[in-house]
Every structure is written in structure tokens, then in C-alpha cells.
Amino acid sequence: MAMHRRPPLVAAPPEKLLRFDPDEWPAEQWWQSCELYGQACMAWVKTHPGSPLGTALDVLREKHRLYEEHRRAEWEASLGAFNPH
């Protein structure tokens, strides 16, 4: 295979960018940790196009998914407080 046809090598993102763990992004509130994580991911994809994190749009989608997942978990927990089953 010709050298000019090989795909470019893509740098692997740091492990802490591959999944969100609020404990790795210390802040007073959960949403602040999520914002720090999103900013770091966005900075990575802007400087490393084609990385496993995807594009800037993928980062925004993932951040939105995290917010919705967290919102739903809090909502379900609040339902448990009213339903003692």
C-alpha cells in the first residue's frame, strides 16, 4: 500500500476524556464538573481532528446526554421519596 494512502495517525485522548466521572473533575456542583469535562473534550477535538471523541458536535451531544441522564436520575430519585414501596 502506498504511504500517501495510509490514514493519518490519530492521537488517543487521555483516559479521563473517554468517559465522564464527576470525581475526576472536582467542582462544587455536578453541573460544574460536567462543564469542565465538556470544555476539556471540546479543546481536545479542536486540536485533534478525527480523534475517537468525534467532532465538536459529538461533544455537545454527549454533554446534552449527560445532562439528561443526570436530570432523569434526580427526577426518579425524587419520585422514590413520595412512593414508599
**Phi then psi dihedrals of residue 76, to 5 deg:** -65, -35
Domain boundaries, the chain: 54-85
pLDDT digits (tens, 9 = 90+) for 13-60: 999 999 999 999 999 999 999 999 999 999 999 999 989 999 999 999
How far is residue 10's CA from residue 65's CA, in Å, rounded to a whole number? 25
**Phi then psi dihedrals of residue 53, to 5 deg:** -75, -15
How far is residue 55's CA from residue 41's CA, in Å, rounded to a whole number? 10
Question: pTM above 0.95?
Answer: no
